[in-house]
C-alpha cells in the first residue's frame, strides 16, 4: 500500500508544532520581570534556552535555576517540565498506535499480537495510563523526598513539599533541573535522596508500552513482548554495566569519588550511570571527572532510554536491534532474529537510519561548537551529546558558550527530543510497494 507524503508527515508535524508552541510560550513567560528574582528581564536567548531545556526535559542551564528565577519562574519551569515529560510519553505512545493502524490489517494484528499493547482506538486509555504511571511514581518519590528534607535537613513542611515535588517531577521526567547551584552534590552521601531520584529516573526511562505489558503479565516474563524484553534487559545491562565501569574509573579520583567511603562510591557510580540515561542530575562534580569517564558517559547518553519514555537518545531498542543485525551478519545467518522472533528488514533499516542520522547531528553540532568556542573536543562532545540525548549533564562550559552556542544547543535539544520519535514514526508510516525490482549488484564493502 502506498501513502501520500502529506498523510505520512501529518502526525509528526503535529508533534513538532505542539512542542514548538509550548517552548515559545515558556520563553514568553520566562522573559517577564516577575519570573526573575531581581525583577529584571532575562535575555530572549537565555529564556528560549531554559524553556527548550525544560520542555525537552534536558536540564542544561545557562542561569542558576534557584538563584536567578523567582518562585514564579521556578513554577513555570516545573510546569514546562511536566508538560514535556507527560507530552512526549503520550504522543510517542499515540504515534505508535497510529503506526500500527496505518500498516494495514494483517501488519496491525501482527504488531498488536507481538507488542500486546493497545489498539488504535484506545488513545484515551493511553493518555489515562501515562497519567497514572506519572502520578504514582512522582507522588511516591515526592513523599520520600519530603519526609527526608523535613527530618534530615530541618526544612519546614511547605518548603519540604515544594522541594520534594519539584525534584520528583524533574527526576521522573528525566529533566535534570535542581534548586541548588551544585545540582544535588551536597547530598552525595545521602542514600534517601540519591536512590529515590535515581530510581525515578530509571522508571521514567522505561516507557509506557513496557508498563502496559507489565500490568497485564508481570508475573509471566515468557508472555512479555519483545519490545519489553529488549527494553528491560538492555536498560539493566547499561545501568549496572555503566555503574561498574564508572565506579572503577572514578574510584581514586580525589575530586569526585576519592573522598567518599567505599559504599558511597558505589552509590555515586550507580547514580551517575542512572543519570546518563537522560536524568541529568549530578551528585559529584562532572567537570572534574576523568576523560575516560566522559567518554563512557558519552556512549550511555547517546544510547539513552526506552522508546516512548521521558528519556532521550537513540533508544535502547534501536541500539539492541543494531547489535542483533551485526550478530546475524557475523554468524552468516539469512535472518535477523531476537528472542525467537524474526526482525523485519524495514525495522532494521529504520534503526540504522535513526542511528546514522543521530551520529550526523552530533558530529555537526560538535563541529559548529568547535568553530564557535575555544573549548577542547572532549568537553564540547560531552556537551553536544548531553544536549542531543536530552540528558543535562555538563562539564561546566554551558554558560560560557555564548548566544550562538546556546542556539546550537537549543536546536540539538529540540532535534534530540523529537527527532528519533518523529523520524521513527515517519519511516514506519512511509510504506510503499513497487511492481518491479532492479537487477542486483554487489559493490565491495570493507
Name residue, grid cell 546518563: 276
Least confident of 232-241, 266-275, 424-433: 424-433
Q: Are 139 and 165 in contact (CB under 8 A)?
A: no
Beta bridge partners of 342: 337
Q: What is the pLDDT confidence band of residue 124, given thresholds at 50, 70 and 90?
A: low
Q: Which helix (H) or strand (E) holds 338?
A: strand 337-338
Mean pLDDT (whole number) for 6-20: 65
What is the pLDDT, as a whole number, of residue 5? 41
Per the CB < 8 A criterion, the answer to whether 197 and 281 are in contact is: yes
Of the given ranges (44-53, 119-128, 275-284), which has the lowest mean pLDDT?
Answer: 119-128
Nearest to 176 by CA among 311, 295, 292, 27: 311
49, 409 contact by CB (below 8 A): yes
CA–CA dist 107, 262 (Å, integer): 52
Q: Answer yes or no: are the C-beta atoms of 247 and 276 closer than 8 Å.
A: no
Q: Which three cell numbers stand for residue 298?
A: 558519552
pLDDT score of 215: 84
What is the C-alpha separation between 151 and 132, in angstroms, rounded?
29
pLDDT band at 194 (very low <50, low <70, confident <90, very high): very high
- Residue 307, C-alpha cell as written in the block: 522508546
What's the rounded Cα separation, in Å, for the pair 422 and 15?
A: 8
Q: Residue 110 — very low, low, confident or very high, per pLDDT cuts 50/70/90?
A: very low
Q: Report whether pLDDT(48) > 60.
A: yes
Phi, psi angle pair for 341, to nearest 5°: -130, 140
205 versus 38: the higher-pLDDT residue is: 205
Residue % of the chain over a pLDDT of 70: 84
- Where is 341: in which H helix or E strand? strand 341-342
So what's the pLDDT on residue 427? 54
N- to C-terminal Cα separation, the chain: 35
Residue 213's Cα: distance from chain center in Å?
Answer: 21
Three-state SS at 337 = strand
Residue 430 has pLDDT above 60, yes or no: no
pLDDT recorded at residue 391: 94
Q: What would the pLDDT profile of 291-316 be if each residue is shown by its tens digit?
A: 999 999 999 999 999 887 888 899 99
Instruction: Identify the pLDDT of residue 118.
Output: 46
Higher local confidence (pLDDT), 158 or 96: 158
Amino acid at each position: 500500500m502506498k501513502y501520500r507524503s502529506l498523510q505520512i508527515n501529518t502526525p509528526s508535524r503535529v508533534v513538532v508544532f505542539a512542542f514548538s508552541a509550548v517552548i515559545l510560550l515558556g520563553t514568553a513567560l520566562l522573559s517577564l520581570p516577575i519570573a526573575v528574582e531581581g525583577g529584571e528581564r532575562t535575555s530572549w536567548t537565555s529564556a528560549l534556552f531554559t524553556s527548550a531545556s525544560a520542555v525537552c526535559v534536558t536540564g542544561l542551564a545557562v542561569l542558576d535555576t534557584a538563584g536567578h528565577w523567582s518562585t514564579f519562574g521556578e513554577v513555570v519551569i516545573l510546569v514546562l517540565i511536566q508538560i514535556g515529560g507527560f507530552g512526549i510519553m503520550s504522543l510517542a505512545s499515540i504515534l505508535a498506535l497510529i503506526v500500527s493502524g496505518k500498516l494495514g490489517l494483517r501488519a496491525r494484528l501482527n504488531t498488536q499480537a507481538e507488542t500486546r499493547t493497545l489498539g488504535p482506538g484506545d488513545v484515551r486509555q493511553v493518555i489515562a495510563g501515562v497519567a497514572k504511571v506519572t502520578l504514582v511514581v512522582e507522588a511516591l518519590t515526592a513523599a520520600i523526598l519530603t519526609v527526608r528534607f523535613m527530618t534530615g535537613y530541618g526544612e519546614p513542611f511547605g518548603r519540604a513539599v515544594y522541594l520534594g515535588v519539584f525534584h520528583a517531577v524533574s527526576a521522573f521526567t528525566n529533566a535534570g533541573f535542581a534548586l541548588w547551584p551544585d545540582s544535588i552534590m551536597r547530598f552525595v552521601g545521602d542514600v534517601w535522596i540519591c536512590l529515590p531520584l535515581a530510581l525515578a529516573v530509571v522508571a521514567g526511562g522505561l516507557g509506557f508500552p513496557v508498563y502496559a505489558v507489565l500490568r497485564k503479565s508481570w508475573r509471566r516474563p515468557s508472555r512479555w513482548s519483545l519490545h519489553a524484553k529488549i527494553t528491560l534487559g538492555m536498560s539493566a545491562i547499561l545501568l549496572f554495566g555503566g555503574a561498574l565501569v564508572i565506579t572503577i574509573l572514578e574510584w581514586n579520583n580525589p575530586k569526585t569519588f576519592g573522598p567518599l567511603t567505599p559504599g558511597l562510591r558505589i552509590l555515586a557510580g550507580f547514580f551517575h550511570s542512572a543519570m546518563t540515561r537522560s536524568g541529568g542530575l549530578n551528585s559529584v562534580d562532572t567537570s572534574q571527572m576523568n576523560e575516560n569517564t566522559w567518554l563512557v558517559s558519552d556512549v550511555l547518553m547517546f544510547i539513552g532510554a526506552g522508546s516512548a519514555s521521558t528519556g532521550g537518545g537513540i533508544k535502547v531498542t534501536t541500539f539492541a536491534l543494531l547489535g542483533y543485525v551485526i550478530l546475524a551478519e557475523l554468524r552468516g545467518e539469512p535472518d535477523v532474529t531476537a528472542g525467537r522472533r524474526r526482525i523485519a528488514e524495514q525495522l532494521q533499516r529504520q534503526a540504522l537510519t535513526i542511528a546514522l542520522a543521530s551520529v550526523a547531528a552530533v558530529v555537526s553540532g560538535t563541529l559548529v561548537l568547535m568553530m564557535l568556542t575555544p573549548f577542547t573536543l572532549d568537553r564540547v562532545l560531552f556537551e553536544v551529546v548531553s544536549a542531543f540525548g536530552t540528558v543535562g549533564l555538563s562539564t561546566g562550559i554551558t554558560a560560557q558558550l555564548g548566544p550562538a552556542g546556546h542556539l546550537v544547543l537549543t536546536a540539538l535539544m529540540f532535534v534530540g527530543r523529537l527527532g528519533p520519535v518523529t523520524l521513527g514514526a515517519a519511516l514506519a508510516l512511509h510504506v510503499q510497494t513497487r511492481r518491479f525490482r532492479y537487477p542486483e549488484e554487489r559493490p565491495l564493502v570493507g
